[in-house]
Amino acid sequence: IPSTLASLTALTELRLDKNALTGTLPSVLSSLTKLRVFQVHENQLRGSIPSEYGDWTDLRTFSVHSNNLTEKLATEFGRWKKLSSFDVFGNSLEGTLPEEYGDWESIETFFVEKNSLEGPIPLSYENWAKINNANFAENNFNGIMSLCNISKPFRELVVDCGLECDCCTSCV
């Protein structure tokens, strides 16, 4: 992804999915503060997702699935209060899910399956009033699924069968 895109400061959508892109995600793209849609899924990108992307406070859609991204998910992404779709499945992300993501007020879909994430699902995720699709499967999560305390029924909630979950639609 060319760093020169950072000069397009009025850009609201960046869709570069399915382009056989290689390399890393440039941190200078954090200057795209009007960005609402960031889609670079199904490429061959590697490395971490820059924590500087937390500056995209108008972001609605974040899709980087099916790449070779590694390292931890940044706590700074908790500033994405308007985010409705978070899709990072099929990478090699590691560590725990950040508690700060519980501040996402508009999240509807959350897909983190097929990574190397671990630990409990943060209790703060109970704040997700609009969530209706989530997939946590094929990671190393443990404990009790905190999302079961949300009164709204799920269209889809998938977890590893080892995670305690009374409200899940399926486990793998």
Contacts 24+ apart (CB under 8 A), 118-122: 118/94, 118/142, 119/95, 119/143, 120/96, 120/144, 120/146, 121/97, 121/145, 121/146, 121/147, 121/163, 122/97, 122/98, 122/146
**What pLDDT is recorded for position 91?**
98
pTM of the full predicted structure?
A: 0.95
The mean pLDDT value for 33-42 works out to 98
Phi, psi for 135 (deg, rounded to 5): -135, 115
Confidence check: pLDDT of 54 > 90: yes
| Euclidean distance between CA atoms 163 and 79, whole angstroms | 28
Q: Is 45 helix (H, G, I), strand (E, B) or coil?
A: strand
**What pLDDT is recorded for position 155?**
85
**What pLDDT is recorded for position 73?**
98
**What pLDDT is recorded for position 151?**
66
- Banded model confidence at residue 165, pLDDT cuts 50, 70, 90: confident
Share above pLDDT 90 across residues of the chain, in percent, rounded to a whole number: 82
The mean pLDDT value for 8-37 works out to 97
